[in-house]
Chain A
């Protein structure tokens, strides 16, 4: 198997004054070479925490309490800081959430991209500059603009610079953390188009974190849906659209209007996301689920495969009385 990343039973907790917040619990998924996985969920559901746990960026009061993150067979959770810094950028890199804040305003973008190349690879400054120019051209910016400062670029272009930066050391895996949120619809589509074309060209594996379901369903091969710290469903995009099994996934699909189908009535999900501090053993969706029964309130459903490559965590599947 050409699995690039495999996350097994990852749990990340945060210590708070009121108790332990289980921000991410028992999250498992994997990613093959050249695959694009969409990680979707509402704000506060733990998408970014998953990304940070994979990259080992969780700091006190947060902690990865259990689980393994295997990047090409190496466990990142147990890796030392030295091993990690050799892997970051070269094997795994991030396109951050808002490029406006991710770029340092007092250095030219060329300096910032070169910095990571010089740090991780044994090349001369001239060579690094040459590569920086090529990278900028790759994302559709004139290579000679390496001398510009971030404020001289528009939002969409800054995002492109951030993408160029993430690709600086030819990583195998790129995590894009809501990298298009806050951009205009058309600019967003252009940035997404760029990520997609680069992914194909460089055979990258990409984790696309987003809350925009229509966008993710359009371009990702597989989708994992998160709710309140759990992945509730993980399947190929086609499977998920045709045959969503978890009540939350179904509700989410019904919640946004569809341009192609103007007759569709959008339905909201009643209630709100539960507080994750000291959350009791139960299905995390039971407070808002229309099908919830006693077992859902007492036990945590297991995340398991119900069909080839289609995973979900719901008691309805076990009972066999779905629908």
Chain B
């Protein structure tokens, strides 16, 4: 493992069991939420994970944060394989990795004051501190998220804050232990446009000040392009394309990424050329396909796409794509 790699995920897999049928004729089918994914996050970088709902973005994050057990695979954080740790050891690791959740209305306990909410992680992980020291840490964290003066906020309840302020408190809770890694799961999708920009800039700012490494999950390509150094595009539990943000935006190689970029870049162009970019189709994630996961909606599919699962291949330094046809596609478009 490279020295600069903070987090390495290899062959990670998660299946859920779906039950159907009646009591006697119980049928169990496996749903592939995350299917054999590999990626690395380097120190100090922000890796964006984008994809549509149900593609396994959140499952991936939850497994990395050890909130969910993987079915198979390895997660290495600072050289330690998280998958084999005991519960008590995992708890120690949690101090270094924190998560920001999607909905700031659900994730703050309505019965607790901001001060108590922010004390919680300190009480769990830094038991030796005096009350004054803990209080000082809370004030520092609130000031770091630009809610000033901090004393005004600590005695409020979550319902006395606006959506943007709540999300800031959630961020404060994540950074209060000075973690080295943060997973942010769609932190802005519930917020209005006018406050969204503030949260994004705050996260970028914190990264600079604290040297944070981040995994940023979103479904919005333009947000990802603003925030991230590298982007991984997920589809049906698989990473279909991963690479530096610039390359993904300027030279998307997988047909799914191409369609996504087309929508965000120029919706009118997408409307006119819709059939060439993506087909209407249903996806069934219950069976492990023999072929490419995107085959049902791909306008460029060929015979091989139905029978063989494409591997993630490097096309340009650090830019990998899993598609049988990408080379021809690249030539066609350039």
Contact = CB atoms under 8 A, between A and B. Distances in A.
Interface of A: 42-43, 140, 154, 156, 184-190, 192-193, 196-197, 211, 213-215, 218-219, 251-252, 254-260, 262, 266-270, 272
B74 to A, nearest CB: 30
B52 A186 contact: yes
A214 B220 contact: no
Interface in B267-281: 267-268, 270-271, 274, 278, 280
Given A215-B267, A218-B267, A257 B223 contact: yes
B11 interface: no
A268 B201 contact: yes
B192 A211 contact: yes
A199 B219 CA distance: 28
Nearest to A265: B201
Most buried by B among A140, A257, A260, A262: A257
B260 interface: yes
A259 B268 contact: no
Nearest to B199: A268
Given A252-B193, A269-B195, A218 B268 contact: yes
Given A252-B193, A255-B193, A272-B195, 8 more contacts: A42-B192, A156-B280, A185-B220, A218-B266, A254-B197, A255-B197, A259-B261, A270-B198
A214 B197 contact: no
Interface in B176-214: 192-201
Interface string B267-297: 1101100100010101000000000000000
A259 B252 CA distance: 13
B280 A140 contact: yes
Interface of B: 52-53, 162, 164, 192-201, 219-223, 225-226, 245-246, 249, 259-261, 263-268, 270-271, 274, 278, 280, 282
B299 to A, nearest CB: 13
B265 A186 contact: no
5 contacts: A192-B267, A254-B197, A257-B200, A259-B249, A270-B198
A193 B268 CA distance: 8
Given A193-B270, A266-B226, A255 B265 contact: no
A185 B52 contact: yes
B263 A186 contact: yes
B274 A190 contact: yes
Contact of A185 (B246, B260, B271): B260
A257 B225 contact: yes
A184 B259 CA distance: 12
Contact of B271 (A156, A184, A192, A266): A192
Contact of B193 (A213, A262, A270): A213
B225 A262 contact: yes
A266 B197 contact: yes
Contacts of B271: 189, 192-193, 196-197, 219
B50 to A, nearest CB: 9
A219 B53 CA distance: 25
Contacts of B219: 184-185
B331 to A, nearest CB: 24
